[in-house]
Structure 1
Amino acid sequence: MNEQTAGKILLLEDDRLYSETLCDWLEEEGFAVHPCYDPQSAFDVCYQEPFDLYLFDINLPFQNGLETFRQLRESGDRTPVIFLTSREDKASLLEGFAIGADDYLRKPVDLDELSARVRAALRRKNPQRNIPLGPYRMDTRSRDLFLDGQPMKLGRKLYDLLELFVERSGEVVTQEAIKERLWHSDEEASEGAIRVYIARLKKLFPDAIENIRGVGYRFDLSHVNEERV
């Protein structure tokens, strides 16, 4: 596989046409993807070479994706996984998170959202990294913001928004990009909630966030660090 790719993904999806669609999209996005169509093939491949991420369908022949991933975890494999599911019952999703799932997407998958969540999972896989933000320190492993060594406990969505702003410092981040990062496609996004999160971040970084009317927001990381104390 190309060493310059954004990451190596093992895709376990028994629908060959759908698998091809996902592979084509992810490869266009810069990832190297190895498709498998049944759990045994996936076991064979992942024991031969390491992957950066598993993308597993839950409904599979012979053995479901949850049990497949459980066996990999029990063998000591700590590769992050995103589950693809068409199931409506929350029990399956809860079971997935209980055995170490990083995320999930419901079918039919929105391809832009798939790219965003794959990249987010790969970022979380990276070793701990501290990012100075003025008087604060952002810890990408614990996913929290620290002040004088004490965690601020932002909560998932507020942290995700801050992470998005830091990643795209100096760029205009649209409302749609924010919704895509903070909410799953099967959740109802809230512009009111975004305004609340922006207001909370403005209290922490009062001069760093610019409202681009009718479009979105711009976060100036360089300005934040100029004021570091």
Structure 2
Amino acid sequence: MSKILLLEDDYLLSQTLIGLLREAGFEVAHAQDGEEALSLSYDTIFDLYLFDINVPLLNGIDVLKLLRDNDDKTPAFFISAYKDIQTITKAFEGACDDYIKKPFDFDELVVRIKAHIHKHNPTIVYGAMRYDLLSKRIYIDDKEMDLGIVEKAIFDLLMRNMSQTLDKEMFFDVMEKPSDIALRVHLSKLKQRFALNITNIKGIGYRLEKI
């Protein structure tokens, strides 16, 4: 489930948007001012920012500028009542990805968001599983699956190098206490949980086969 950070101080509009976005299948975190939005962005990886401009403490454009200055490349949409070319220009100079003028059509907003997330979040589909390469999130039937740090790193290596034989030393590099036995245990757990077709290349390493 893709995660959206909504920055909007209008109560009625924010509640409408939250309901609409959740109904469309998104997970939504809500901030009412710029500082709260920054705090939430540091705690969670989001798939898209949806920011109003005229909000308390820090306006939406300044929030996005701070995020971009910290190398945050998360796609960002502005929703704003400002229609003057100066504000729109400033928004795009701050590296927003889209600018939607209020009032707007809710269905169109959802279509734009879905299209943008799909375009910028490359995924690998493996059987019933979907792996988001940017956020490193794993989904089965749109339910996010949790993994420990080591197993997630091993999983990522396999998915990014599908059909390639990986030397076991590559796996050892991401393990806290590397050993052949520990690696086999981790791989066995991943095979059982995600129905991965992993081949042991004797004396060399392992390979995730396509299905």
Post-superposition offset of 1:109: 2.1
Q: Does 1:57 align with 2:67?
A: no
Show the counterpart of 1:27: 22
Show the counterpart of 1:154: none
Show the counterpart of 1:126: 121
- Map residues 62-211 of structure 1 onto 2, 5 A cutoff: 62-127=57-122
Q: Does 1:43 align with 2:23?
A: no
Post-superposition offset of 1:114: 0.7
Structure 1: any 5+ residue segments left out of the alignment? 130-229
Whether the 8 Å CA contact 2:53–2:80 is kept in 1: the answer is yes
Q: For 1:117, give the aligned amino acid.
A: R
Structure 2: any 5+ residue segments left out of the alignment? 125-211
Q: Normalised by the size of structure 2, how large is the TM-score?
A: 0.56
| 1:32-55 per-position Cα deviation (integer Å, ceiling 9, x unaligned) | 111110011111111011000000
> Residue 87 of structure 1: SS of its match in structure 2?
coil
CA distance in 2, matches of 1:115, 1:37: 21
Post-superposition offset of 1:127: 3.5
CA distance in 2, matches of 1:49, 1:63: 19
Whether the 8 Å CA contact 2:3–2:26 is kept in 1: the answer is yes
CA distance in 1, matches of 2:123, 2:13: 35
Whether the 8 Å CA contact 2:52–2:60 is kept in 1: the answer is yes
Q: Report sequence identity in percent.
A: 43
- Which stretches of structure 1, 4 residues or longer, exceed 4 Å deviation after superposition? none
CA distance in 2, matches of 1:49, 1:128: 20
**In structure 2, do the counterparts of structure 1 residues 23 and 128 end up closer, same or farther at CA, with 3 Å as the change threshold?**
closer
Q: For 2:89, give the aligned amino acid.
A: L
> Residue 55 of structure 1: SS of its match in structure 2?
strand
Show the counterpart of 1:9: 4
Post-superposition offset of 1:124: 2.6
> Residue 68 of structure 2: SS of its match in structure 1?
helix
- The structure number with the bigger radius of gyration is 2
Post-superposition offset of 1:128: 9.4
> Residue 62 of structure 2: SS of its match in structure 1?
helix
| 1:129-161 per-position Cα deviation (integer Å, ceiling 9, x unaligned) | 9xxxxxxxxxxxxxxxxxxxxxxxxxxxxxxxx
> How many residues were matched structurally?
124
Whether the 8 Å CA contact 2:35–2:58 is kept in 1: the answer is no
> Residue 9 of structure 2: SS of its match in structure 1?
coil
> Residue 45 of structure 1: SS of its match in structure 2?
helix
